Amino acid sequence: MNSELFDYYRATFLRCDLLYGRHFGSKSAYSQRHPEGFYVPNGCIYTRNQTCVWRGDLDLATADDIRGLVRASRLLRRKLFIMREQFISDARMLPRSWVANNAIITIWRGKITVAGHYRSDPRRALAALARAGFASVTVLK
């Protein structure tokens, strides 16, 4: 990805209060302080073309993070795929459907889909999102 496009993504996520590379501190300490959370340490956000456009810690049980992601998706006019920490920043060399098939959550046009590719039960994610004020969430089995 060229630097102008990368700067555009960074600026857009920053407008949505999602600072690139943000870090909540110790993974275990954060999880203990927020047991009801839906914490994604070192999360990666990809677009449909399988390019990583954002990295950092997310707590998908907070309304601020979800609203920020929904707003970023709308501003960018892109479907966002939220994933666990990935060892690869450019997934374009992988099969075309890899990102879509391995995303924890997909956000597009204000709709949130929980795919269940997480270490915990996807119902936990649904409950966390409902607590954050998002009732129209789809859970895939």
**In Å, what is the CA distance from 33 to each residue of 3, 10, 24, 37, 87?**
37, 28, 11, 9, 27
Could you tell me where the DSSP H helices lie in the chain? 3-15, 27-33, 63-76, 98-102, 122-131
The full set of domain ranges for the chain reads 3-139
pLDDT score at 121: 57
d(Cα 51, Cα 14) in Å, to the nearest integer? 18
pTM value?
Answer: 0.82
**In Å, what is the CA distance from 88 to each residue of 4, 5, 79?**
21, 19, 19
pLDDT score at 62: 81
Per-residue pLDDT of the chain (141 residues; tens, 9 = 90+): 678 888 999 999 999 999 999 999 888 898 888 877 788 889 999 998 888 899 999 988 788 898 899 999 999 999 999 988 876 656 667 787 888 888 888 898 888 887 765 555 556 666 666 766 665 566 555
pLDDT score at 82: 92
Structure tokens at 64: 């601020």
pLDDT score at 96: 76
pLDDT score at 118: 55
| Burial (CB count within 10 angstroms: exposed 0-12, middle 13-18, buried 19+), residue 20 | middle
